[in-house]
Amino acid sequence: MTEPQVAMLMMGSFIFCILLGFPICFTLIAMGFGFGYYAYATSDQLSHIFVNNIFDLLVNQTYSVMINDVLVAVPLFLFMGYIVERAQIVQRLFYSLNIAARIVPGAMAVAALVTCALFATAVGIVGAVVTLMGLLAFPALLKAGYDERLSAGVICAGGCLGILIPPSIMLIVYGAVSGVSVVRLYAGALIPGFMLAGLYIIYVIGRAFFNPKLAPKPPREQWDIPTRELVMMLLTSVVPLAVLILSVLGSILFGLATPSEAASVGAFGSLLLAVCYRELTWDRLKQSVYLTARTSAMVCWLFVGSWTFSSVFSYLGGHMVIEEFVMGLNLSPVMFLVLAQIIIFLLGWPLEWSEIIIIFVPIFLPLLDAFKIDPLFFGILVAFNLQTSFLTPPMAMSCYYLKGIAPSHIQLTTIFKGSLPFLAMVLIAMVILYNFPVITTWLPGLVYGRH
């Protein structure tokens, strides 16, 4: 076999092992090590078993991941999110927004979406947002008489916003993989992220306006709260978390701090909020540290495995095979974007976003120059695309997260049906971005200048 054929065998073996259910990060390391041992073998390899460049490569890749300044922000933002999640800040936020939006059609669903957006911004983990909001807001929506499908769609779609809206952990990981500045990615994702959240809210308000039975208004006595009391509720629930998020995001976008520095301030600020709310206990702090360490270790080992795998894959000529194949199709830039997004969409069914960004997105990155596509624009499209994979049956992970904690009478098919209209909103947003890429590139160009 030629080396490029071995590279294709390597990729096929990896996909086969994933489908069998093997852990992805260790499968990457095993494939990279095994095929790398073959790729770097010398003529007298049998007499010098432990003299092989794959050992140096694995050690160097591990060291490179551990000293990567960009990745330092990941555990800090995770810790910030886990503290906010466990300090019951979200409960206060949802209740206050629900009262404040009482005159809007579908007020409780709108409040749930805004809460999801703010909470997802702080956490950046789809499973955590959908699970907590499913426990907090979903029963409240059902009790208020809201349609089951609409309620399920609100929770599933709102929980996915953390992938896109800064400070998104996914964008940090994409920046580390692609070499694009995380600051520029945050600036590029800001307008599209709020555009998508706005489309969700417009859809909910429209459905509730034309069909009030889907989202009945509560009795007046339930929300007839004096204005002064309502203002105090907002000041004590919405304002502190909003200030924390905006200060972290603002310091990054205006160049006052690096993402890692801003994340450390955000982590400290979340602790301070938990103390002020008298919700910080030793058990909650211990759980947050444990979950942060576990998730961070998963991301770092994925990087180690992916970079080892991709180094060996490239050494064997695998990237050249893919590049020659794609270039031989004579695709236009738009056709290439559509093809890449379809592949990423399909990968989103069996894989998490972290595996897709770290493992498969680097395959497309070398082709962006050939098609004259801005990697920043490509990254935002990928973030939108991954939201569709979380909402598309039969492998819509956000729907499964919600089903796991929903009341037993809620069928999975009901949750699927509820998520489909929000999936349509994502597709509409992607079409808008395809036709008007300036939505993504305008703010980074304005603040930081063109490349």
pLDDT tens string 386-422 = 888 778 877 777 888 888 878 888 888 899 999 999 9
pLDDT value for 205: 93
Report whether pLDDT(83) > 90. Answer: no
Omega within 30 of 0 (cis) for the link into 167: yes
Report whether pLDDT(222) > 60. Answer: no
CB atoms within 10 A of CB 347: 21
Using the Cα atoms of residue 319, residue 322, residue 324 and residue 327 in order, give the sign of their dihedral.
negative
pLDDT value for 221: 58
Report d(CA 245, CA 262) in Å as an integer.
Answer: 10
Report d(CA 363, CA 336) in Å as an integer.
Answer: 13
CA 109 to chain centre: 22
Half-sphere exposure of 98 (CA within 13 A, CB side): 21
Domain residue limits, the chain:
70-295
Report whether pLDDT(223) > 70. Answer: no
Whole-model pTM? 0.80
275-306 per-position pLDDT tens digit: 888 888 889 889 889 988 887 887 788 778 87
Residue of 389 and 368 predicted with greater confidence:
368
Q: What is the mean pLDDT of the chain?
A: 83
Mapping DSSP to helix (H, G, I), strand (E, B) and coil, where does residue 394 land? coil
**Which of 27-31, 210-214, 385-389 has the weakest average pLDDT?**
385-389
**Which of 211-215, 284-288, 444-448 has the weakest average pLDDT?**
444-448
Give residue 21's pLDDT band: very low, low, confident or very high (50, 70, 90).
confident
